[in-house]
Amino acid sequence: MSVNKPFRRTCRQFTDGHYTEGGRWQYMIHEKYAEAPEHYVRGFLLLLKDLYKLFDYVEPADKNLNCYSYRIHAMLLRACVEVEANCKAILKENGYKKDSDMNMGDYKKINKTHQLSSYKVKIPNWSGQLSVREPFSDWLSGESLPWYKAYNLTKHDRHKAFEEANFEHLLDASCGLLVLLSSQFETNDFLPRNTLLAVGGPNDGMKSGIGGFFRVGFPVDWPDNMKYDFDWDLIKNDTDPFDNFDYDSIP
């Protein structure tokens, strides 16, 4: 049985395999879907601007993944703070009872509802074989996320763990943030123009993501009972056309 009403801040594949075709994306811009979504997107867009600048000095390449610096460290912290902010928003706006002291144990629950570990992000103009990043894939094997671990290590003891603030961890944290935004808003950036214009590009099975730089591969492995199957035109005028997901029920 599929899902006949969208969950807040939760973008999913429909039963026919599509995400947004036929105007179905419009549920994502309804005022009750997410609180201040543009606030969260803007945090990523500002980070993306600084990534552009960093690429002037550190070439996107396999050989540079271990490069580290104070600037990379500062950007890693920013990216992970934004990741935490998005995770908290998803949980809180769905009625999660724990409203303080959330940690990765809480955030990991979102993987069960958003398929984060199935997302792929492609970094363009890359030199080498590692241009496609899967920032949440370690959760599939029950492992912790290396980039988030690096964030905590360098936040609490930068002197001893400074080398962990490297280019690879920054890229994965940035891609992780984009995955979280994509899993809520697809390619909507909430800029003051028409939404969902970020389409097209090479025939690689991906879409141009929020910000227009990275390419995003959306999950195609949704279980049938988790896919959306609703007609937005029939429910959009309801008092509240959205459901809360019960995250407290996830162990």
DSSP state of 186: T
- The rounded distance, in Å, linking the Cα atoms of 244 and 173 is 27
Q: Which pLDDT band holds residue 199 (cuts at 50, 70, 90)?
A: very low
Whether 194 has a pLDDT exceeding 90, the answer reads: no
Contact 83, 234 (CB under 8 A): no
Residue 72 pLDDT level (bands cut at 50, 70, 90) = very high
Q: Report the pLDDT value the prediction gives residue 22, as an integer from 0 to 100.
A: 82
| pLDDT at residue 100 in the model | 87
Distance from C-alpha of 133 to C-alpha of 135, rounded to nearest angstrom: 6
pLDDT digits 0-9 by tens, 101-148: 999 999 999 999 999 999 999 999 999 999 999 999 999 999 999 999
Average pLDDT, the chain: 94
- Identify any residues that bridge with 216 across adjacent strands, giving them in sequence order: 121, 207
Q: Taking the C-alpha atoms of 129, 135, 136 and 138 in order, what is their torsion angle to the nearest 10 degrees?
A: 50
Name the residue ranges covered by the structural domains of the chain: 21-244
- pLDDT tens digits, one per residue of 6-48: 999 999 999 999 999 888 899 999 999 999 999 999 999 999 9
Mean pLDDT of the 65-82 span: 98
Residue 202 pLDDT class (50, 70, 90 cuts): low
Distance of CA 85 to the CA centre of its chain: 11
pTM for the complete prediction?
0.94
Query: What pLDDT score does 197 carry?
Result: 44
Q: How many CA atoms does the CB half-sphere of 47 hold within 13 Å?
A: 29
